[in-house]
């Protein structure tokens, strides 16, 4: 009896939908979490009788399947944390974090030393400065930056991919920005340098105060940016994708590039685009609890209905068996 098989496919599909709903609700307070939605499609059909000029074809379906799980990549509001190294992306783009601190060409799987490196993309700017001076995320991955020279070359020729550098203030050059200040006033940041009022600006550059001077942090030869020129500020790197809904989820609110997402485009906030960075804030989860609870009820009823089909089909088969006995 086809109804039994169709109902089983219905139970399996509704179970998958409930798994997705449960994961969404579990992450209602996870910073930067993107909710998912289960997509269904019907299975193949058996044609019992072909159609004619006067009658339609008689076809019976074989149930339902999960055709995919779509991600809702919409952006919600921010949560204020007042932590200056926490960042909220106001607009398009993803932060780039890496498993290794060595510089490497964007998109490469090996760093400048030939070691394996993996880049991840995330909307969660829950960053902090570690004991070595590097900016890292909550998972210990290194936040990647670009230097202006490499970025400018990439913008002029997109085939010339920029070089990504782990952002480290130790070894960087601090350039006071007071009027008339020359490069002779620059300071090389060391582990013992006392930095106050550290701020990541809306364009991804980094500023702060050393002593009585306020200024910006620039790349130096000792902190990775061999392509940087004089007065090249450290820039927090961002990436955009043709289809960010096609990104592969890697856990820890991070994504990896996939065939569906397309190749990333590397950008600086506020540089020819409307994206800005907001310091001291994190992106909220985009889970809508009201919608999830509604979907849960619908899914539960769908599961119950398919269970009922199995019960009824079983009763019909029992009647047929009883007819044989009589």
pLDDT in tens, 71-88: 999 988 899 999 999 999
Query: What pLDDT was estimated at residue 223?
Result: 63
Same domain membership, residue 278 and residue 238 = yes
Q: What is the mean pLDDT of residues 237-251?
A: 94
pLDDT value at position 221? 61
CA–CA separation, 245 and 259 (whole Å): 11
What is the distance in angstroms between the CA of the first residue and the CA of the last residue of the chain?
A: 21
- Give the C-alpha separation, 165 to 54, whole Å: 71
Same domain, 68 and 135: no
Mean pLDDT of the chain: 90
Same domain, 115 and 242: yes
- Asked if pLDDT for residue 265 goes beyond 70, the answer is yes
At residue 13 the predicted structure's pLDDT band, cuts being 50, 70 and 90, is: very high
Segment 24-30 shows an average pLDDT of 96
37-62 mean pLDDT:
86
Same-domain pairing of 236 and 88? yes
- Kindly indicate the confidence band of residue 317, based on its pLDDT and cuts at 50, 70 and 90: confident
- Total domain count, the chain: 2
Same domain assignment for residues 33 and 110: no
pLDDT band at 323 (very low <50, low <70, confident <90, very high): confident
- Specify the pTM: 0.86
Whether 94 and 186 share a structural domain: yes
- Residues of the chain with pLDDT > 90: what percent? 62
Is the pLDDT at 22 greater than 90? The verdict is yes
Report the b/e string of 215-252 with b at 16+ CB within 10 A: bbbbbbeebbbebbeeebbbbbbbbbbeebebbeeeee
Pick the more confident residue, 1 or 143.
Answer: 143
Range of weakest confidence among 111-115, 222-226, 250-254, 280-284: 222-226
Q: Which two tokens stand for residue 125?
A: 């700017």
The 3-state secondary structure of the chain, one letter per residue: CHHHHHHHHHHHHHHHHHHHHHHHHHCCCCCCCCCEEEEEEECCEEEEECCCCCCCCEEEECCEEEEEEEECCCCCCEEECCCCCEEEEECCCEEEEECCCCCEECCCCECCCCCECCEEEECCEECEECCCCEEECCCCCEEEEEEHHHHHHHHHCCCCCCEEEECECCCCEEEECCCCCCHHHCEECCCCCCEEEEEECCCCEEEEEECCEEEEEECCHHHCCCCCCCCCEEEECEEECCCHHHCEEEECCEEECCCCCCCCEEECCCCCCCCEEEECEEECCCCCHHHHHHHHHHHHHHHHHHHHHHHHHHHHHHHHHHHHHC
Judge whether residue 228 has pLDDT over 60: no
What was the pLDDT predicted at 142? Answer: 96
Look at residues 267, 283, 299 and tell me which one is the last residue of a structural domain. Answer: 283
pLDDT of amino acid 56: 87
Nearby residues of 49 by Cβ (< 8 Å), 6 or more positions away: 55, 57, 58
CA distances from 121 to 29, 40, 240, 294 (A): 20, 28, 9, 31
Q: What is the pLDDT of residues 129-146, one digit of tens each?
A: 898 889 999 999 999 999
231 shares a domain with 251: yes
Domain shared by 200 and 254, yes or no: yes
Statement to judge: residues 299 and 220 lie in one domain: no
- Enter the tokens of residue 292: 């999830």
- 151 and 295 in a common domain: no
- pLDDT tier at 3, thresholds 50, 70, 90: confident
Average the pLDDT over each of 38-42, 45-49, 301-305 and give the range with the smallest value. Answer: 45-49
Q: Are residues 91 and 113 in the same domain?
A: yes
Tell me which of 48-57, 269-278, 285-294, 300-309 is least confident.
48-57
What domain range includes position 134? 78-283
pLDDT at residue 243, as a whole number: 95
Residue 60 pLDDT greater than 60, yes or no: yes
**pLDDT (mean) for 96-104:** 91
Q: What is the reported pLDDT for 37?
A: 95
Q: What is the pLDDT of residue 81?
A: 95
User: Is the pLDDT assigned to residue 227 strictly greater than 60?
Assistant: no
Structure tokens at 79: 């949560």
The answer to whether residues 66 and 85 belong to one domain is: no
Query: Residue 321 and residue 168: Cα distance in Å, rounded?
Result: 77
Cα angle 202, 103, 145; round to 5: 5
Identify the bridge partners of residue 58 per DSSP, sorted by sequence position.
49
What pLDDT was estimated at residue 301?
A: 97
Average pLDDT for 179-200:
83
């Amino acid at each position: 009896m086809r109804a039994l098989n169709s109902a089983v496919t219905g139970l399996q599909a509704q179970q998958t939908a409930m798994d997705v709903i449960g994961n969404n609700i579990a992450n209602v307070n996870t910073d930067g979490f993107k909710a998912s939605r289960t997509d269904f499609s019907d299975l193949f059909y058996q044609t019992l009788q072909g159609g004619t000029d006067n009658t339609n074809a008689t076809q019976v379906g074989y149930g339902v399947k999960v055709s995919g799980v779509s991600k809702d990549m919409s952006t919600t509001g921010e949560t204020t944390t007042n932590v200056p190294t926490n960042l909220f992306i106001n607009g398009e783009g993803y932060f780039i974090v890496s498993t290794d601190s060595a510089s490497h060409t964007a998109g490469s799987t090996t760093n400048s030393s030939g070691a394996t490196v993996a880049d991840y993309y995330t909307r969660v700017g829950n960053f902090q400065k570690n004991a070595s001076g590097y900016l890292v995320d909550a998972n210990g991955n290194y936040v990647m930056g670009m230097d202006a020279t490499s970025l400018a070359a990439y913008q002029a020729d997109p085939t010339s991919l920029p070089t990504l550098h782990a952002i480290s203030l130790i070894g960087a050059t601090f350039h006071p920005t007071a009027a008339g200040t020359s490069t002779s006033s620059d300071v090389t940041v060391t582990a013992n340098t006392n930095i106050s009022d550290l701020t990541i600006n809306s364009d991804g550059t980094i500023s702060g105060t050393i002593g009585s001077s306020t200024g910006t942090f620039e790349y130096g030869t000792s902190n990775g940016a061999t392509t940087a020129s004089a007065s090249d500020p450290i820039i927090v790197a961002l990436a955009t994708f043709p289809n960010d809904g096609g990104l592969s989820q890697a856990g820890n609110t991070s994504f990896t590039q996939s065939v569906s997402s397309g190749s990333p485009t590397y950008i600086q906030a506020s540089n020819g685009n409307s994206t800005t960075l907001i310091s001291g804030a994190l992106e909220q989860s985009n889970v809508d609890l009201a919608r999830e609870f509604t979907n849960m009820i619908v899914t539960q009823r769908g599961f119950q209905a398919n269970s009922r089909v199995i019960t009824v089909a079983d009763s019909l088969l029992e009647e047929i068996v009883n007819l044989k006995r009589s």
